[in-house]
Structure 1
Amino acid sequence: MKAIQEEIQVELRDGWPSSLYWRQQRYFVSTICDTWRFGGRWWLSEPPRDCFVVQAGGLTAELHHEAREGGRWWLARLQD
């Protein structure tokens, strides 16, 4: 997977990613392939993050979300 690390907008349905916006295009999530929680780098005061690998349109993407109220979403990686 190729590292991207861009902040993006994600829409949720029932608490799960349902679509994402990247480079002015909307991608609908068809499958959530994997999920996990990363504890964050506590020594840098990072919050934990929820991570998702999703199929969205022609993308296989790894999304990260800061696990706190109003937390940011970002596109961490894309399948090459």
Structure 2
Amino acid sequence: MKAVQQDVQVDLQDGRPTRLIWSGRAYGITQVLDWWRFGGRWWLGERPRDCYLVQAGGLTAELQHEDGPEDRWWLARVQD
């Protein structure tokens, strides 16, 4: 997996990601391969977040969603 660490827009249905928009391109998420909760490194001020490994067309990607008022989603990694 290759680190990306870029903010993305994510559409949800029933609380699960269904589409991501990255670099102006939309990717329909066809499958959530895995999901886990990361508690965050509290000593660095990180918030807990949900992590999703998804299949979106030919793209296998790890999306992360940070708890908090910003409702921030980012593309953490892609399969290279």
TM-score, normalised relative to structure 2: 0.95
Q: Percent identity between the aligned chains? A: 60
Structure 1 segments, 4+ long, off by >6 Å, are none
Is 1:32 the counterpart of 2:60 in the alignment? Answer: no
Q: CA deviation at 1:7?
A: 0.5
The answer as to 2:35 corresponding to 1:22 is no
Distance 2:68 2:17 in 1: 16
Tell me the residue number matched to 2:65: 65
Structure 1: 5+ residue stretches without partners: none
Structure 2 gaps of 5+ residues are none
Q: C-alpha separation between the residues in 2 aligned to 1:38 and 1:60? A: 20
Stretch moving more, 25-34 or 41-50: 41-50
Shift of 1:77: 0.2
TM-score between both structures, scaled by the size of structure 1: 0.95
Whole-Å separation in 1 of the counterparts to 2:70 and 2:12: 13
Aligned residues between the structures: 80
